[in-house]
């Protein structure tokens, strides 16, 4: 699910840095991306509260285009670091505006759908009922990435090796310089977010649990195990990374996979998701936003290789 590769050498970090080395780079980028998910949820709620529901539907068109404009700037940039950041934020913005808000409009207003209820409690809003129906499209796109010979994603490379596809597909036609990190990060952010949403929605769907003979507790418990094992494996690789831009991209799937547990633990009533009601938890959200900004500044100021800033010179072979 990520676009990063492991096995970086000690030369991958400037010699003047004694702090930005394993495991610090991986730790900071993972926490940063976990905070980003919470901040993104809070931003959605804040926009809807500020503009009103109907105005949000209209504004979402322009908000999504702002994300595309940001992506355009990132694609034009020769800086891998800048391209990674703009691709990430563009992915979040477009997902929020052109998926969540659009589905909200069609589900709630245009189609007039009712939410799924358990007793008097709303368990699934109409927009997420629509999103569940996109799983077939999600899997179709998954097939495309599986058969893409130019992928540098560890998961897809592993699948290709297990299916004996590497020899059939042939060598990649792209070098590190050929890779556009803005669009890579954009699609990674968008697809990983979509994948994790679909995973959660499927597990929380009572028809799915009943259909395979599992209770809700068994289905969610199995998901927690898989999420911790998979996310933990990704994290164990991430804390070996030295290049900040590479770590940022690898932290996107790592944090999203681990975030599945946040959703489930909240459903179990173990804690309150303050980012879903930021207006009622201003102090808590303020601390989360401050922590996110502080870590983003740390990442921005971290020493980077010439290949990350667009100063390639004689350096070649940056990982993706």
Counting other chains too, the contacts that 164-169 makes at CB distance below 8 Å and 24 or more residues apart are none
Q: What are phi and psi of 76, to 5 degrees?
A: -75, -20
Determine if the pTM surpasses 0.85. yes
Taking the domains of the chain in order of start, what are their residue ranges? 21-115+124-142+179-304
| pLDDT at position 209 | 58
Mean pLDDT of 41-66: 95
CA dihedral 162, 167, 170, 176 (to 10 degrees): 50
| pLDDT at position 203 | 86
Q: What is the DSSP letter of 108?
A: I
| pLDDT at position 301 | 83
Given a cut of 90, whether residue 18 has pLDDT beyond it is: no
3-state secondary structure of 124: strand
Residue 45 tokens read as 């709620």
Residue 147 tokens read as 């058969």
| pLDDT at position 221 | 87
- Which ranges in 133-242 belong to alpha helices (H)? 135-146, 154-162, 166-169, 181-204, 206-211, 216-238
Query: What band does 13 get if pLDDT is binned at 50, 70 and 90?
Result: very low
Torsion over CA: 112, 114, 120, 121 (sign): negative
Partners of 124 in beta bridges: 116
Q: What is the DSSP letter of 107?
A: I
Partners of 122 in beta bridges: 117
Closest CA to 261 of 216, 225, 214, 218: 225
């Amino acid at each position: 699910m990520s676009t990063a590769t492991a096995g970086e050498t000690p030369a991958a970090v400037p010699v003047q840095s004694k702090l930005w080395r394993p495991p610090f780079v991986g730790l900071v980028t993972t926490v940063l991306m976990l905070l980003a998910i919470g901040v993104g949820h809070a931003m959605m709620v804040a926009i809807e509260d500020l503009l009103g529901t109907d105005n949000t539907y209209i504004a979402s068109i322009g908000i999504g285009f702002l994300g595309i404009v940001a992506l355009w700037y990132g694609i034009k940039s020769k800086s891998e670091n800048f391209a990674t950041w703009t691709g990430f934020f563009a992915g979040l913005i477009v997902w929020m505006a052109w998926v969540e808000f659009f589905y909200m409009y069609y589900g709630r207003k245009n189609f007039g759908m009712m939410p799924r209820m358990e007793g008097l409690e709303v368990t699934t809003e109409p927009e997420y009922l629509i999103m569940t129906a996109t799983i077939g499209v999600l899997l179709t796109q998954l097939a495309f990435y599986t058969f893409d010979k130019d992928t540098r994603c560890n998961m897809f490379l592993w699948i290709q090796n297990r299916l004996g596809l590497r020899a059939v597909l042939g060598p990649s036609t792209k070098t590190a310089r050929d890779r556009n990190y803005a669009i890579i990060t954009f699609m990674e952010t968008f697809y990983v977010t979509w994948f994790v949403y679909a995973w959660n929605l499927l597990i929380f769907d009572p028809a799915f649990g009943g259909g395979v003979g599992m209770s809700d507790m068994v289905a969610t418990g199995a998901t927690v195990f898989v999420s911790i094992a998979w996310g933990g494996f990704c994290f164990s690789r991430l804390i070996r990374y030295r290049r900040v831009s590479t770590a940022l991209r690898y932290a996107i799937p790592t944090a999203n996979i681990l975030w599945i547990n946040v959703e489930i633990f909240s459903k179990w009533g173990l804690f309150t998701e303050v980012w879903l009601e930021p207006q009622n938890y201003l102090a808590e959200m303020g601390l989360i936003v401050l922590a996110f900004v502080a870590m983003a500044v740390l990442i921005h100021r971290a020493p980077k290789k010439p290949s990350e800033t667009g100063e390639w010179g004689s350096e070649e072979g940056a990982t993706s």
